[in-house]
Amino acid sequence: MFFALLFAAVAVAQSSSSSMPTSSSTSFDSGVPTNAPIPGLYNETWRPQIHYSPPKGFMNDPNGCFVDNNGTYHLYYQYNPTALVAGNQHWGHATSRDLYTWENQQIALYATEDSQIFSGSIVVDVNNTSGFFPNQNNGVVAIYTLNTKDEQVQDIAYSYDGGYTFIEYAGNPVLASTPASSQFRDPKVIRYGETWVMVVSYAQEFVIGFFTSTDLKTWTPASNFTHGGLLGLQWECPNLVQMPVQGGGPMWVLVISINPGAPQGGSITQYFPGYFNGTVFTAVDGAARITDFGKDNYAGQFFYGIPGTEDQVFIAWASNWQYCEEVPTGETEGWRSSMSIPCSTLLANVTRSGWDMISTPLPFGQLYVSQQPLAQNYSLGNSSISVSYPDVVSRAIYFQCEISGIPNNTYSQGTLNFTFSSSQTHENVSGGFFFGGDNSFWLSRQNVQGFGETNPFFTDKFSVANPINSNGTFVLEGVIDRSILEVFLDHGRNSATMTFFPQGELDMFELTTDGLNEGVSVSVAVWGFNSTWASQATCRTSLSAHFLGTAQILPPQSKHSNSEKLHGEDYNQHFDRNPFEARIAIICDLEELLQDCRLQTHLA
C-alpha cells in the first residue's frame, strides 16, 4: 500500500538564490512563453517594491502607454526575455489600476528570427477609422518600429481584446523612409480633432517628422521639427502631448530623448513647450530643458487617453545606456532595469528660465504601512531627525521636508542634508541643499560599494540650481525603493532619478538642517510603504530527498499518474510558487518508507 506525506513550506525570509526563475511550463517559442505571463520572484535584495521592473531579463524604453475606458493603465516596454542585455526586442506588457500595483501580462508583440519590435505607441480607435473594428468602439492599435538588419519601418498591429493580444496588419509597413533608412524609428501617435498625427524620429539627422492620417494605414508628411535644444549624437523616442498650464489654458510639449551625447554622459530626455496646430509644432524658444537632472531617467512617455485639460501622466526608464547592461542585478538576481515612479505633469512659467514641466509623484493612496508617519517633527529648526526602519519589510520610504520663512539672502550659510545608510556596511546615498549662493541641490551615490567603484560611467554626483521661491519656501520630497532614489524639489520644479546597488540593505534615514536664520520654520515627516509586489512574489523552494527504497515523487498540482518513480537515488527539484508557499506531496511505499525514506526541504 501507499502512504502520503504532505509538506508545506512557507517563506518567511527573502530568497538568496542567485539563479534566474525557472521557466513557465507554458508552450514556448525559442524560450519565450506565448500565452502566459513570465514568472518573477520580486523579493530579491535590489528589487524595487513600488516601481515596475520586469520579471526577468532586460527591459528598457516604455512603449504604448495608455489608459483604457475601464480605468486600467497599460504599460508596454522594450523587453528581451531571453538575455540580460538589449537584443531580441519584444514588447513586454503590464497593467495597473493605480500605476504602483502592477500585474504582469503575457508578451504583447514578439520578435522573430530576423526582426525586432522597437519602440512605439498605442491608440484606441473609438470610431473604427482603421476598419479593423466594425463591431466595437474600443479597438486598440499598436504603432511600432520593425527593425531589421537593413532598415527600420513603421508597422501596426490591432487588438480585439483591449491590448492583450495583437494581430499584425497584412499591409505593413504603413510608413517607410525613402530612401530606406536604418535610423527611422519610435513612432508616437495621437488624435488631433478628426486626424491621427504621428511624430517619428530620423535619429541621426536630428529631425522629428510629423505625419497625418485618417485611417492609421496611409500617412502623409506634414512638417519637420529640427535642431533645437541639445543634439547629442542622435534623437529618439519623440512624444507629443497637450497638457495644462498652471493658472491658464493648455499648451503642447514635444519630448525628445538623446542617446548618446547627454551632458553627463549617455542618455537623457529633453522637452520643448510650444504650440501645435495639427500639422506644425512651434517651440516657445530653442532652450534646452531636461526632464530630470540625475542620470537614470530616459525615454519618458505619456499615457494616451488622458484629456489635454488634465495633468498628464509620465513614466520613464530608470537607467542609462552607459551602464544599463552591466548593473549587478542581472548577474545576481536575473533582471535588469526598472521604470521611474509615475508622475503627474503640467507646465508652469514661474522661474527666470521661463516654462518648466512640473512633475510630482502620483498620490500614494493605500501604499503607506500606516497612515501615521514613522517619524515627524513640525518644528525641527536647526536640528536633525533620524529613523531606523528595519521593520519596514519593503524598505521603501517616502519623506517630505517643508521650509518656510527663508529670507532672500544670497549670503546665507543655511544647509539641509539627508542620508540613507546601511547599519551593516555603513554605505549611504545622500543629498543636500545650500540656501545661499546659487541655491544648489546635490545628490551623491559616492559612498556605495561595488558597482559604483568599478564602472567609470556610473557618475557619482549630480546637482542643479534651484532658486528659492519668491514666497521664501523650499519643499523637498523623496522616495527611496531599495536600489532607486527619486527626489522632487518645490513640488516638482526640478526632479532627479538615481539608481545604486549597495552591498548592505539601507535601513536608516537622517535629515539635518543647520545655519538657518531665526524664524525659519522646518517640518519633516517620514513614511514607510508596503510592497505592491508581495502578493505576486514567488518563493523558490527546493526539495532534496534520498531514497534507499522505491518512492514516487508527486510535484504540486500534478496527478498521481504523472508521478516519478525513483529507486536508490537522490532527487532534487526546484519549485516556484505564488504567493510565498510551496507544497510537496510525496507518496512512498509504506514498507520501504519504514526502512528508509528521508525527506529534507529548505528555502533555496
Residue 313 maps to which CATH number? 2.115.10.20
**Shared-domain flag, residues 371 and 512:** yes
For the cut 70, the answer to whether the pLDDT of residue 590 exceeds it is: no
**Euclidean distance between CA atoms 175 and 144, whole angstroms:** 10
Provide the residue type at 285 as one letter.
D
- Is residue 356 in a domain? no
Residue 561 has pLDDT above 50, yes or no: no
Q: Give me the amino acid identity at 197.
A: V
Cα→Cα distances 146→122, 154, 171, 177, 290, Å:
15, 6, 13, 12, 28
Per-residue pLDDT, 247:
86
Asked if residue 266 belongs to a domain, the reply is yes
pLDDT over 70 at 78, yes or no: yes
User: Rounded to whole angstroms, how far apart are CA atoms 123 and 436?
Assistant: 48
Residues 317 and 423 in one domain: no
pLDDT of residue 417: 99
Instruction: Say if residue 386 is in the same domain as residue 240.
Output: no
Confidence band, pLDDT 50/70/90 cuts, at residue 539: low
Name the residue range of residue 519's domain: 366-528
Q: Is the residue at 448 inside a domain?
A: yes
Q: CA 138 to CA 192: how far, in whole Å?
A: 18
Is 173 a residue whose pLDDT tops 70?
yes
Is pLDDT at 574 greater than 60 in this prediction? no
More confident call, 13 vs 312 = 312
Q: Is the peptide bond before 555 cis (omega within 30 degrees of 0)?
A: no
For residue 15, pLDDT beyond 70: no
Q: Are 75 and 93 in contact (CB under 8 A)?
A: yes
CATH number at residue 501: 2.60.120.560
Tell me the pLDDT tens digit for each residue of 480-519.
999 999 999 999 999 999 999 999 999 999 999 999 999 9
**189 shares a domain with 42:** yes
Q: Which whole number is the average pLDDT over 348-374?
A: 93
The b-or-e profile of 295-318 (16+ CB within 10 A means b, else e) is: bbbbbbbbbbbbeeeebbbbbbbb
502 in the same domain as 578: no
Considering Cα of 160, then 164, then 168, then 172, what sign does the dihedral take? positive
Among 528, 548, 566, the domain boundary falls at 528
Q: Is 593 helix (H, G, I), strand (E, B) or coil?
A: helix
44, 125, 186, 236: the catalytic one is 236
Please list the residues that pair with 132 across neighbouring strands: none
CA distances from 94 to 62, 318, 331, 356 (A): 11, 17, 24, 30
Is 60 exceeded by the pLDDT of residue 13? no
Q: Give domain status of residue 46, yes or no.
A: yes
Specify whether 449 is located in the same domain as 341.
Answer: no
For residue 19, being part of any structural domain is answered with: no
Three-state SS across 523-548? EEEEEEECCCCCCCCCEEEEEEEEEE
- What's the pLDDT at 538? 67
pLDDT digits (tens, 9 = 90+) for 230-278: 999 999 999 999 999 998 889 999 999 999 999 999 999 999 999 999 9
Beta-sheet pairing, 57-67 with 335-336: parallel
Co-location of 546 and 513 in the same domain: no
Task: Give the end of a domain, one of 504, 528, 552.
Answer: 528
By C-alpha distance, which of 485, 158, 432, 128 is closest to 297? 485
Mean pLDDT of 414-429: 98
**Residue 389 sits in the same domain as residue 285:** no
C-alpha to C-alpha distance for 551 and 567, rounded to whole angstroms: 6
Residue 343 is assigned to a structural domain of this protein = yes
61 is catalytic: yes
Buried b (16+ CB within 10 A) or exposed e, 347-385: bbebeeeebbbbbbbbeeeebebeeebbbebeebeeeeb
Do 548 and 511 share a domain, yes or no?
Answer: no
Higher-confidence position of 17 and 365:
365
Concatenating the DSSP letter of every residue in 414-435 gives -EEEEEEE-TTT--EEEEEEES
Domain termination residue (choose one: 486, 505, 528):
528
pLDDT in tens, 324-338: 999 999 999 999 999
Residue 14 lies in a domain: no
Predicted pLDDT of residue 489:
98
The DSSP element (H or E) to which 333 belongs, if any, is helix 329-333
Task: State the average pLDDT over residues 112-132.
Answer: 98
User: Is residue 361 in a domain?
Assistant: no
Q: How many domains does the chain have?
A: 3
Give me the torsion for CA of 358, 361, 363, 367, rounded to 10°: -170
Q: pLDDT at residue 597 above 70?
A: no
- Kindly tell me if the per-residue pLDDT of 178 is higher than 60: yes
**pLDDT tens digit string along 147-169?**
999 999 999 999 999 999 999 99
Q: Which of 61, 155, 333, 356 is catalytic?
A: 61
Is residue 300 scored above 90 in pLDDT?
yes
Q: Do residue 248 and residue 193 come from a single domain?
A: yes
**Regarding predicted confidence, which is higher, 435 or 5?**
435
C-alpha span between 21 and 576 (Å, rounded) = 8
Q: What is the pLDDT of residue 30?
A: 57
Identify which has the larger pLDDT, 393 or 1: 393
Q: Do 281 and 145 share a structural domain?
A: yes
Do 307 and 172 share a structural domain?
A: yes
Question: What is the model's pLDDT at position 493?
Answer: 96
Which one is predicted more confidently, 567 or 128? 128
Q: Running DSSP on this structure, what letter comes out for residue 175?
A: B
Amino acid at 541: T
List of residues 6+ apart from 539 with CB closer than 8 A: 9, 11, 15, 576, 577, 578, 579, 580, 581, 582, 603
pLDDT of 604 higher than 90? no
Q: What percent of the chain has pLDDT over 90?
A: 79
Query: Would strands 597-603 and 474-481 be described as parallel, antiparallel, or unpaired?
Result: unpaired
Q: Report how far residue 165's alpha carbon sits from residue 600's, in angstroms, rounded to the nearest whole number.
A: 43
What is the C-alpha separation between 270 and 232, in angstroms, rounded? 11
DSSP-assigned states of every residue in 66-132: EE-TTS-EEEEEEEETT-SSS-S-EEEEEEESSSSSEEE---SB---SS-EEEEEEEEEETT-TTSS
Provide the sign of the torsion angle of the four alpha carbons 41, 46, 49, 50, taken in this order.
negative
Per-residue model confidence (pLDDT) at position 246:
92
